[in-house]
Amino acid sequence: MFLKKAPVLKGVFFFGHALEFGRDPLNFLLKLQNNYERIAQLRIVYLKVYLLVNAEDIKYVLQENSKSFVKGRAYRVLGQVLGNGILTSHGEFWHRQRKLAQPAFYKQRLALLVDIMNDETMTLVKRWEATLQQENGSTTLPMTKEMMKATLLIVTKSLFGTGIDPNKIAHISQDIDTLNEILSMQMRTPVRFPMWVPTKTNQRFKAASERLDAVIQEIISTRRNALESNPEAQFDDLLQMLITAKDEETGEQMTDKQLRDEIVTLFIAGHETTAMAMSWAMYLLAQHPEIVQKMRREAQEVLGEHLPNFENIRQLTYTSQVVNEVLRLYPPAWAISRQVMEDQKIGEYLIPAKEQVFFCPYLLHRNKAYWTNPEEFNPDNFLPERIKQRPSYSYLPFGGGPRLCIGNNFALMEMQVMLALLVKHFDFEKMENVIPDPQITLKPKGNMPIKVSMTSEF
Ligand code: HEM
């Protein structure tokens, strides 16, 4: 069959679409989605990429033909920090690592983590209450920072147990920010100095990576030593599961390097995404007191005066709809890419070997073919009967197919716990318009100031 070339958008000499894309990626891509029905080809300097618009084509790439579409350039950039962990690896190696790590995310394991989520959220509630008392009942908080602090502590305790010194972790949070910022820059610019050139950026990158590695290595060796001196010792955390996990066929365990890569992957993938989702949730709720009220009633009915347990998570159905709707409008993983191994076809179009395809959950979730009034914040979009009416791959905050996010249930549970407890105590008010800043994750521009006050309901 004769295959057509994907439609090409006219770009400028040398740069292609780099400048327009760089200036305002989301609006540039929205424009493409509105003008091209299925696929559009663009060029960032020498890099050709193909944007996929249709849920069916995305399903083909992520699920039906996932072996032919592997993780490409973006993941090689991330690999400089994450190494060869579950997010960045592929083939047999990925399959083995995923199998080893998967049990750590089974429902019965997650049930044990609800208490950590409760504790950290209640610490946040107490801290906010103390500030409100000092400031006559209301205060404006930089929501992104608040949420980063809370999700960092939750992922730290879930991964490494409660014995870890939170200050040590808070200390590397700045380094993680630096690494994120530099990787994000590298993703957008295909031309850059190699790491061995001592530019200022490369030096900052190296220093931050070394500090991150030192802390992670110390955590791993402290645990290995504790287990050596007392093999019966029980640590109920993900680190323990990963250290003791054995390949069913070979009985092999992870080396220190593999452990390091998986721990750094889970640590980084596991908190910034959730922190951004929680910040956007606060931003949307601050504009919709009627939705907050509905959530509060549900929290009161399901929880009464208790903290949530695992069973309650299933019962907080409206809160779950709110979480899904937040992830629709502001999916932290706003773009997902793959590289084709050999020539591939998408419908009647050819994607030549080695090229990159990508799709944007941010666009897909606003595509009028799948959503009515896509810009409106409407948790009813996730009523069971509405979900049934949409194609399955029209909503992908956690990706899909075999590479579906391993932490999806962890994140959903964390957001439900945090939101249920926060709306029980506080009201929120938007202080300024915030626009999204698509870095590696979909961040808000600025710190997202939100006015918080004690609720007078109940
Ligand atoms: C709201 C929060 C989160 C969002 C939006 C999110 C999103 C995603 C997405 C879209 C992918 C697929 C990437 C691709 O196909 O290229 C992914 C993969 C992954 N996520 Fe998440 N994630 C979240 C939370 C978490 C948490 C809490 C953890 C761990 C504690 C985690 C760990 C991972 C890992 C290890 C992978 C790689 C899975 C694989 O390739 O087999 N994520 N995530």
How many A from CA of 344 to the centre of ligand 1? Answer: 26
Could you give the percent of the chain with pLDDT greater than 90? 64
Could you give the percent of the chain with pLDDT greater than 70? 98
323 lines ligand 1 (CB under 6 A): no
186 lines ligand 1 (CB under 6 A): no
pLDDT confidence of residue 170: 75
326 lines ligand 1 (CB under 6 A): no
- 233: confidence class by pLDDT, cuts 50, 70, 90: confident
Please choose, from the candidates 168, 161, 164, the residue with its C-alpha nearest in 3D space to the C-alpha of residue 241.
Answer: 161
How many A from CA of 181 to the centre of ligand 1? Answer: 19
Mean pLDDT, residues 344-370 taken together: 94
Kindly indicate whether the ipTM for this predicted assembly is greater than 0.90, answering yes or no: yes
Report how far residue 36's alpha carbon sits from residue 51's, in angstroms, rounded to the nearest whole number. Answer: 9
Report how far residue 300's alpha carbon sits from residue 349's, in angstroms, rounded to the nearest whole number. Answer: 54
Q: Which long-range contacts (CB under 8 A, 24 or more apart) does 33-41 make?
A: 33/360, 33/363, 33/367, 36/7, 38/346, 38/347, 38/349, 39/6, 39/7, 39/346, 39/347, 39/349, 40/6, 40/7, 40/8, 40/9, 41/5, 41/6, 41/7, 41/8, 41/9
| Degrees, nearest 5: CA angle 99-169-221 | 60
The set of residues, in sequence order, having a beta carbon less than 8 Å from that of 167 and lying 6+ positions away, is: none
Closest ligand 1 atom number to CA of residue 87: 37
51 lines ligand 1 (CB under 6 A): no
Instruction: Tell me the per-residue pLDDT of 70-99, one tens digit each, with 9 for 90 and over.
Output: 998 899 999 999 999 999 999 999 999 998
Mean pLDDT, residues 256-270 taken together: 91
Report whether pLDDT(44) > 90: no
pLDDT confidence of residue 177: 87
11 lines ligand 1 (CB under 6 A): no
Cβ-contact 410, 158 below 8 angstroms: yes
pLDDT confidence of residue 127: 96
Mean pLDDT, residues 298-315 taken together: 96
How many A from CA of 422 to the centre of ligand 1? Answer: 24
Mean pLDDT, residues 278-305 taken together: 97
Instruction: Tell me the per-residue pLDDT of 143-195, one tens digit each, with 9 for 90 and over.
Output: 999 999 999 999 988 988 866 777 777 778 888 889 988 998 888 776 666 77
Q: Which helix (H) or strand (E) holds 427?
A: strand 426-430
Report how far residue 208's alpha carbon sits from residue 210's, in angstroms, rounded to the nearest whole number. Answer: 5
The set of residues, in sequence order, having a beta carbon less than 8 Å from that of 193 and lying 6+ positions away, is: 199, 202
pLDDT confidence of residue 236: 77
391 backbone dihedrals φ, ψ, rounded to 5°: -65, 145
270 lines ligand 1 (CB under 6 A): yes
- Amino acid at residue number 138: S
Taking CA atoms only, the protein residue closest to ligand 1 atom 42 is: 407
pLDDT confidence of residue 150: 94
User: What CA–CA distances, in Å, run from 336 to 47, 49, 61?
Assistant: 16, 12, 11
**How big is the chain, counted in residues?**
458
pLDDT confidence of residue 197: 76
Highest mean pLDDT among 162-166, 197-201, 224-228, 419-423: 419-423
Report whether pLDDT(54) > 90: yes
Closest ligand 1 atom number to CA of residue 402: 41
399 lines ligand 1 (CB under 6 A): yes
Closest ligand 1 atom number to CA of residue 337: 16
DSSP-derived secondary structure letter, 378: -
269 lines ligand 1 (CB under 6 A): yes
Report whether pLDDT(260) > 70: yes
pLDDT confidence of residue 253: 86
Report whether pLDDT(415) > 80: yes
Taking CA atoms only, the protein residue closest to ligand 1 atom 3 is: 273
Please choose, from the candidates 414, 426, 19, 93, the residue with its C-alpha nearest in 3D space to the C-alpha of residue 252.
Answer: 93
Average confidence score pLDDT of the chain: 91
- 383: confidence class by pLDDT, cuts 50, 70, 90: very high
Tokens of 20: 């327009």
The set of residues, in sequence order, having a beta carbon less than 8 Å from that of 413 and lying 6+ positions away, is: 110, 113, 114, 117, 313
- Residue-range domains of the chain with CATH: 4-454 (1.10.630.10)
Choice among 208-212, 247-251, 438-442 with the minimum mean pLDDT: 247-251
44 lines ligand 1 (CB under 6 A): no
The set of residues, in sequence order, having a beta carbon less than 8 Å from that of 72 and lying 6+ positions away, is: 337, 338, 339, 356
Report how far residue 101's alpha carbon sits from residue 112's, in angstroms, rounded to the nearest whole number. Answer: 16
Report whether pLDDT(43) > 90: no
How many A from CA of 27 to the centre of ligand 1? Answer: 25
273 lines ligand 1 (CB under 6 A): yes
pLDDT confidence of residue 230: 86
| Degrees, nearest 5: CA angle 323-329-333 | 85
Mean pLDDT, residues 33-53 taken together: 86
Mean pLDDT, residues 19-34 taken together: 86
Best mutation site among 405, 414, 439 for ligand 1, i.e. most ligand atoms within 8 A of its Cβ?
405
DSSP-derived secondary structure letter, 63: I
188 lines ligand 1 (CB under 6 A): no
Mean pLDDT, residues 444-456 taken together: 94
Tokens of 72: 């490409």
